[in-house]
Every structure is written in C-alpha cells, then in structure tokens.
Amino acid sequence: MSRAALLVLADGRFPAGGHAHSGGAEAAVRAGRVTGAASLEDFCRGRLHTTGLVAAAVAAAAALGADPGELDAAADARTPSPTLRRAARRLGRQLLRAGRVAWPSAELDALAERFPKGAHQPVVLGVAARAAGLGPADAAYCAAYESVSGPVSATVRLLGLDPFEATAVSARLAPEMDTVVSRAVGTARRVAGEGADALPAASAPLLETGAEAHAGWAVRLFAT
Amino acid sequence: MHLGHSLSHGGPEVVGADARRPDGVRRALRIGLGGPVGSGKTATVAALCRLLRDEVSLAVVTNDIYTREDAEFLLREAVLPPERITAVETGACPHTAIRDDISANLEAVEDLEDEVGPLDVILVESGGDNLTATFSKGLVDAQIFVIDVAGGDDIPRKGGPGVTTADLLVVNKTDLAPHVGSDLARMAADARAQRDGLPVVFQSLRSEEGARDVAAWVRERLAVWTA
C-alpha cells in the first residue's frame, strides 16, 4: 500500500469537481449562521459529525468491498434533499472519471457501467481508494476531511476570511476527524454481516433545507 | 488523433481528449471561447450559432461565474433550441472549471452528445476571467480568445497565455475604436508580434460582416476534424 496515494486522493486539487461546491457554507453565510472563524468551526463540527460521519462510513464500507448498489441506496436514504442527492451523484461521476484515469481498475470500470450518471460520491471514493491500494480508514479519512475542507475553502472566498484562520479551523477539528473515522470504520465493518442498515444515519436538517433553498437562488457562487 | 488513453475494460469514456465516443463514433469538435469580462464572448457565441446552425449540428456549454445569465441570454435570443444549451456552475472560479478541473464541463459535453447528438460542434464558453485563463486540451480541441478594443489597446502588447497561445485571437468591438482612442493598427502589429503566425480576427458584431470570419475559421477547423 502506498501512503502517498492517500495524499493524492485527499488533495483538494484532485480534479473531481469539489471546487464548485461549498458544502452548505454559502447558504449558512447568507443566513448569518457563519460570520467568521468561530462560527465556521461550529458549522464544520456539525457537518463532520453528521453528513461527514455518514460519508466516511459509506466510503469505508465501499473500500471494504461492500456492494456499491446497496451503499448507493443507503446513501440516498440518508440524504433527504433531492438537490444534495443529485449533487452527490454528480460529484461521484466526476470522481469516477478522475479515479479511473489515476488508478485504472476493473472495479471502477464496473462502477461506471452500472452507474453511468454517477453513484453517491462516498461510494465512488471508497472504490477509488481500493483501486489506489488504500484501506477503509483511508477512504473514511478522505470523506471526513472533505466534509470540513470544502466549507472551509468556500468560506475563504465567501467572506474574505483570513486563510490562516480558516486553515486553523481545519487543524483544530483534526482530532475530531480521527474520532469520526474510527466510528465510521467500526460501523462499516459490520456491513458485511448486517447489511447497510448498520451504517450511521446522522443528518443535519439545516444542511438539507438550506441546500433546497440555495438551489433556488438566482445568483450564487457555488453549485451547492 | 486518438491520444492513446485506451480503456481495456470497455466502460464509458473517461478521457476528454479521446476523439471517439465509447460506441466508436467520432465525437463533436469542441471549441473553447475565453477572455476577459465583457469582451463579447456570449455575443460571439450567439452570432456563431446564427451563422452555423443551419449547416452544422451545434450545442453550447456556458460557464457562468455566479449566475446562469449567459445561458439565459442565449435561450432568450433563441439562437439554439433550449436542449442544446447547458450551463455549468463553476464555484467562483471559472478558470478552474475550464483548465484545472474539467470534469463538470466534460460531463456537460458528453451529456449533450448523448441527449441531442449527433453533434458536429460544441462551443464551450468560459465565464469572463483574466488574461491568463486558457482551456485544458483535455476539454477542447481548439480555443478562441476574445478581447475588445475598449479594454485597452495595450492588451495584445502585454500578451499572456490567452493572447499568445489561443488558436484564434478575436479583437471585438472594432466599431468602438475611435470612441475609446484605441489604435487598431497598433493592436494588430502587437498581436502579430506576440502570436508567432497564429491568426487574429478583428470584428464588430454591429457590422454586416459580424462574426463571419470567426465562423469561417470554425468551418475550417471542422473540415480538418472530420477529414
């Protein structure tokens, strides 16, 4: 296993479409819930322990070889907002494109054939991690980190937030990412015996409703 | 000109530069249009659609920065049926979506070919950006850089990747030159010096000729692509 492959997959510059999404930060900024580094940290903590945890668990289960179709349905069931479901599949399709070129593999090809318009991004992330020779914890780390780094970099653009302060938010949340990853991998390991119902179903209602409202705006910087 | 990224497992297309679609049919020629804000990219796209739509099967992808205005302008002007126009959202960073992370744009062009194809040409319009914004070769086969005389007649002299390397440089709004004190002869000489023989078109969309020269260039490109 190559440790460096994890850095390649987790790199914010990995060309898989993430740059166009704020992870709900744009809606939260407009609503006045994120106004600076402190409220950004609260927002990211909430996201990490809800959708971040679910994404990490799904990614870990996919990296362990669970059935992608079952995981995709499980991710759907855990994403009430149709806008976010569409975005997750679009991002999955984009990640699949990048992943298939970076780490050619029969499993990624099979995923593309089965889901030509994309599977939920964490499912693809887990299969891509397998293709890269990475394990379930690595896939979960990518998902957990993304759940924080997306809103952080978007908020730098949205608020003109000091980039050092913003990066410090991610750094302060790192120990909690470790906790979330270990919980996610623990539940993912139960999927083989108990099915996808073993996966966590934590959700953040404001992220879901905010995404629906955001999708209706005439002027916005980010796709979600 | 298959670039050798063949996929052994026969899945859907993943590499944008591949000249053939998974079913073996040649994909559409993709032409990028970039340039600074307000230089006339969308107006040029609209004019090209009007000039070319009766002879070639066309579609357009727009990349707006924070709205769908460019797509909506094209829809309002009815230059093409609505199903042939797709807007990509770029997350406040238009050059990222056309150069560093082209995945959303590749999906847009592939979906257009799937849904309204077969297509001969897809015009991919960048959101207005700066003089360094260029398209990835993984996304487009040729690119047009659009500047205008009112943006300053020193832009060709200053160069930059768009002005220097674009396959076609368009200097737009020539009708405004006398009003803004721009020296067209100087712009032409500077562009020649910067571009090492690559073509330059001066156009005014208010004139009768409109985008005729650019349309002729697109036809030449298409002839080479389908040869």
Element at B191 (helix H, strand E): helix B184-195
Looking at residue B123, its pLDDT comes to 98
Name the percent of chain A lying above pLDDT 70. Answer: 100
pLDDT digits (tens, 9 = 90+) for A72-88: 999 999 999 999 999 99
Residue A101 is nearest to which of B14, B90, B97, comparing CB atoms? B14
The number of C-beta contacts closer than 8 angstroms across A and B is: 78
What's the topology of domain A17-215? Urease accessory protein UreF (1.10.4190)
Q: What is the pLDDT of residues B13-50, one digit of tens each?
A: 446 677 888 778 889 999 999 999 899 999 999 999 99
Q: What type of residue sits at position A173?
A: L
Position A218 scores a pLDDT of: 84
Residue at B192 is within a domain: yes
B3: in domain: no
For chain A, list residues whose CB is within 8 angstroms of any CB belonging to chain B: 13, 15-22, 90, 93-94, 96-98, 100-101, 104, 106, 109-110, 112-113, 116, 154, 157, 218-223
Would residue B220 count as lying in a domain? yes
* CATH classification at residue B185: 3.40.50.300
A96, closest residue in chain B (CA to CA): B14
Each of the 227 residues of chain B gets a pLDDT tens digit; together they read 344 344 444 444 446 677 888 778 889 999 999 999 899 999 999 999 999 999 999 999 999 877 777 888 898 888 999 999 999 988 777 888 999 999 999 999 999 999 998 999 999 999 887 778 899 999 999 999 999 999 889 999 998 899 999 999 999 999 999 999 999 999 999 999 999 999 999 999 999 999 999 999 999 999 999 98
Within 65-94 of B, beta carbons closer than 8 Å to A belong to 65-67, 89-93
The parent domain of residue B97 ranges over: 29-226
- Alpha-carbon gap, residue A19 to B123, rounded angstroms: 23
DSSP collapsed to 3 states, A182-223? HHHHHHHHHHHHHCHHHCCCCCCHHHHHHHHHHHCCCCCCCC
- CB-nearest to A94 from B7, B91, B104 is B104
pLDDT at B15: 61
Average pLDDT of chain A? 96
Mutation target vs A (from B9, B110, B139; most A CBs, 10 A cutoff): B9
Q: How many domains does chain B contain in total? A: 1
Domain spans of chain A, in order of start: 17-215
> The tokens 């090209």 sit on which residue?
B48
Q: Which residues of B touch A222 (CB under 8 A)?
A: 89, 91-92
Burial A21-43 (b: 16+ CB within 10 A, else e): bbbbbbbbbeeebbeebebbbeb
Cβ of residue B207 closer than 8 Å to a chain A Cβ: no
A1 pLDDT band, cuts 50/70/90, is: low
Residue B85: per-residue pLDDT: 95
